[in-house]
Chain A
Amino acid sequence: MLIGLDLPESVQNHLMHMGFVPDALVTVLRRAPAGDPTVYGVDGMEIALRRETAAAMQVRAPESADQDAPEVIEAAR
C-alpha cells in the first residue's frame, strides 16, 4: 500500500497519472534479468522503475495480508 512519494514535481505527477497514488496497492511482479529495474504491478498495469525511483516511495503493508498476493513491495531498498 502506497503512502506517499518524494520525487521532483514533474516525475511525481507522471507517476501519479500512471496509478502510483496514495492508497494504491503496489506489488512486485519481477525483476529484470540484470536485477534492476523492477516491474511493479499497479492498477492492473505493469510499470518498470529503477531502484532509486522506487526507493523514494513510502509504503506500508496492507491491512489484510491477503490471499496469495506476490511479495508486497518492500520498495526495493
Chain B
Amino acid sequence: MSACCTTPEFKPPTEPAPPGALRTVVLIGPPNSGKSTLFNRLTGLRQKVANFPGVTVEQRMGLMAGVGRPDLTLIDLPGIYSLDPFSEDARVSIDVLRGEMPGTPKPDAVLLVMDSLHLTRQLMLAAPVLALGLPTLVLLNMTDLMEARGGKIDALKLARELGAPVAQISAVKGAGLDAIPLFLNQQTDRAAAKPLTLPVVGNAASAHSWAAQISRRTGYRAPLSVEGTRKIDNVLLHRFWGPLLFLAVVVGVFEVVFSIGQPLSDGFGAILADIGNLVRPLLPAGWVQSLLLDGAWKGISSVLVFLPQILLLFLFIGILEDSGYLSRAALIADRVMRTIGLNGKAFIPLLSAYACAVPAIMATRTIENKRDRLATILVTPFMTCSARLPVYMLLIAAFIPNTTYLHGIIGLQTLTMLGLYLAGFVGAMTTAWLLKSSILRSSDAPFILELPQYRMPTLRSLGLRVIDRGRVFLRQAGTIILCVTLALWVLAHLPVIHSAGGTVSAPELANSLIGRLGHFIEPAIAPLGFNWKIGIGLLSSVLAREVMVSTMGTLYGAEADTHALSLQTALHQDMTLGGALALMIFFAFAMQCTSTMAVVRRETNSWKWPAVQFLYMLTLAWLAAFAVNHLAILFLG
C-alpha cells in the first residue's frame, strides 16, 4: 500500500453503479480512531451537522464527493467503544445500523474505521458491527504510523478472520482511500449480505478475549508506544509547569485574538465603510438610500467588523482541541472542578464556550452523569462568548481611557476586558457550586478520561471548522441582524409626519414607535444607568448579543444630532461611565441569545430549563448592573 500522495480527488469509477443499488453508507468506529478526519476527507465541504431526531446525539451527513461518489450519502455515527445499549450514542448507532432510526435511511454498506495503533482493543467493536450482516469494509487507519513504529498486521489474514474486506489507509494523508469506491462498486452486484459466521459476543470480557485471539492469529504486533506524547506530557502535565503553561495558553490565546485580531477588524471595518460610500452615489437620495445604507448596511457592518476576531478565536480553540491538549486541560482542571461538584470533563465545554455557547452545550454530551451535565449546561452561557466581544469592545473603546501601567505592559482597557472575562467565569463557578450543592446534588460520578496522543492539527480540519463558524456568523448577520436592523429603521421612522406643505418626513426618534417602546421600559432600567435607547438595544439583543451593536448603530444613525458622529462618540455623549460599566456587567451575566435557549431546550428536552436559566441570569444581571452603577456613582462621581 503506498503510504503517500493519494489525492483525495479520486477519479470517479468508470462503470456507473446500477441505479437504486446503493444509496447510504455509514461510518462507524471507536473514539479517536480518526473517524472525523476520514469523514472530512470523504465528503469535503459537502456536509451538514444536525441532531438525530428526538435524541441528543449529533448526526453528520455528507455526500461522498471526496472519493468521486457524490451520489452516495455518508452518515457519520458517534464514536463508540461498543454497541452496548447502555449509552445513548450506542443506542442511536444500533438503530441507524438496523434502519430503525426514523428519518434516517437504512444503510446499504458500512465503513468500520479502526486505529491500527491500538488494534486489539479497537477490534472489540468489530464483532458486534459485523454481526449485523451489512456489507462492511474494515479500514485500518494510521497504518503508516503503525509501520513506522515497528507495528505489523497481516491484513489478508484479518480479512479472512473477519469475513470482510480490509483496507489499510491513512485518513490524514488521504492514502489508500481508493479502496472505498472499489468496495462500494462491488457491493452493487452482490445480491445479499454474507451470512454471519462470527461468534456472537456477549460481555466485554469475552469480546476482549475474542479480539485478542484475532489479533494474535493475524500476527498483529502493536507499535512501540510513542515517546513523543509522554515527553510532551512530562512538561505539559508537570506538577509545577503544567498549570502554569495551561494559564499561559489561555492568556496567550486571548492576547493573540486581541493584538492580531484588532488591526484585522479595523481594516475590515474600513473596507466595509468604503463599500457603503461607493454605493451611496449609485442610489437615489431619499428614503431608499437611508433604509439601505443608514439602516441595513450600517447595522450589518457594525457586526461584520468582528468576524476576523471571532474566526481567530475559533481557530485557536480548534487547535487546542485537535491537538489533544483539551483533554490534558480537563485532567489539570479536575481537582478544581471537583471542589464545585463537577468533574474535569465539564471543563472542556466551558473552555470552548469562550467561542460560543451553542457548540459548547453540545459538547457536554461527553459528561456521563446526567445531573453534572445539566449543571454544566446551565452555567455555560456565563462564559464570555465571542458575541459579547463586539459589545465589550465598543463600550471599552468609548469609555475606558487608554492608559497603561507598568511601562506600557498592561493597559486599563485590557484589564477591564480581563475583569469581564473573570466576572463571567466567577458567575459560572458560583452558580455551578450552588446547583451542585442543592437541586442537582449527586454522588461523585466516576471520572474516566482517555488521553489521546498528541496530533498535529491538519489545516484541512481547522479550515473546515473556521469556514463552518464563519458561515453561521454570516448567516446570522444576513438573517436575524438584517431583519432586526430593517425593522428598527422602519420603527424609528414611523409614524410619518405630514406637514402643511404636503411633504412627508420622519418623526423625532423620541416620538417614533421605537422611541415610545424605549420610553415604556425606561423605568425598569433607569436605576441601572441606562436610558431608553439602551433599553431598545437590550430588547433587540435578546435575539443575539451582537445585535446590540447594530441596534445602537441604527438608532444613533437615525437621529439627527448624532447622525454624523461615530458610534463611540455618540454613545460617549449619551451615557455616564457608571451606566457603561453597568451595561458591560449586564452583558456578562444576562442570557441574551435565542440560539443558546434553543439548544438548551433541545438538550434538556423541556422549556423549563431554558426558562429558569433565562430568568436567573436576567435577575443576576439586573442586580449586578444596579450595584455597579451605584458604586460608580459613589466612587467615581
Chain A interface residues (CB < 8 Å from chain B): 7, 10-19, 21-22, 29-30, 32-37, 39, 41, 43-50, 52-53
Query: Judging by beta carbons under 8 Å apart, are B334 and A19 in contact?
Result: no
Closest approach, in angstroms, between the C-beta of B127 and any C-beta of chain A? Answer: 12
Q: Which of B94-102, B203-211, B405-413, B590-598 contacts A (4 or more CB under 8 A)?
A: B203-211
Closest 10 CB pairs of A and B: A16-B204, A34-B335, A17-B81, A46-B451, A33-B242, A48-B449, A21-B208, A53-B446, A50-B447, A10-B86
Q: In this complex, what residue of A is CB-closest to B444?
A: A52
Query: Judging by beta carbons under 8 Å apart, are A33 and B237 in contact?
Result: yes
Q: Chain A's interface: helix, strand, loop or mixed, by majority?
A: mixed
How many angstroms between the C-alpha atoms of A16 and B132 in the bound complex? 22
Query: Judging by beta carbons under 8 Å apart, are A47 and B451 in contact?
Result: yes
For the complex, is B84 an interface residue (Cβ under 8 Å from A)?
A: yes
Residues on A with beta carbons closer than 8 Å to the beta carbon of B336: 34
Known contacts A17-B81, A21-B204, A32-B332; A37/B449 CB under 8 A: yes
Partner of B237, one of A14, A16, A30: A30
Closest approach, in angstroms, between the C-beta of A13 and any C-beta of chain B? Answer: 5
Between-chain CB contacts (< 8 Å), 16 pairs: A10-B86, A13-B84, A14-B448, A16-B203, A30-B234, A33-B242, A34-B332, A34-B334, A34-B336, A37-B344, A37-B447, A39-B451, A47-B448, A47-B451, A50-B334, A50-B446
Known contacts A10-B86, A13-B82; A43/B121 CB under 8 A: yes
How many angstroms between the C-alpha atoms of A47 and B450 in the bound complex? 4
Query: Judging by beta carbons under 8 Å apart, are B230 and A29 in contact?
Result: yes
Partner of B118, one of A35, A43, A50, A53: A43
Q: In this complex, what residue of B is CB-closest to A51?
A: B447
Task: Count contacts on B: residues with CB < 8 A to the other chain.
Answer: 42
Closest approach, in angstroms, between the C-beta of A22 and any C-beta of chain B? Answer: 7
Query: Judging by beta carbons under 8 Å apart, are A32 and B331 in contact?
Result: yes
Query: Judging by beta carbons under 8 Å apart, are A39 and B331 in contact?
Result: yes
Query: Judging by beta carbons under 8 Å apart, are B239 and A33 in contact?
Result: yes
Residues on B with beta carbons closer than 8 Å to the beta carbon of A39: 233, 237, 331, 451
For the complex, is B141 an interface residue (Cβ under 8 Å from A)?
A: no
How many angstroms between the C-alpha atoms of A43 and B592 in the bound complex? 47
For the complex, is B117 an interface residue (Cβ under 8 Å from A)?
A: yes
Residues on B with beta carbons closer than 8 Å to the beta carbon of A35: 335
Residues on B with beta carbons closer than 8 Å to the beta carbon of A36: 334-335
Closest approach, in angstroms, between the C-beta of B190 and any C-beta of chain A? Answer: 31
Query: Judging by beta carbons under 8 Å apart, are A15 and B444 in contact?
Result: no
Known contacts A39-B451, A50-B446; A32/B81 CB under 8 A: no
For the complex, is B398 an interface residue (Cβ under 8 Å from A)?
A: no
Closest approach, in angstroms, between the C-beta of B442 and any C-beta of chain A? Answer: 13
Residues on A with beta carbons closer than 8 Å to the beta carbon of B448: 11, 14-15, 18, 47-49, 53
Residues on B with beta carbons closer than 8 Å to the beta carbon of A47: 448-451
How many angstroms between the C-alpha atoms of A12 and B118 in the bound complex? 20
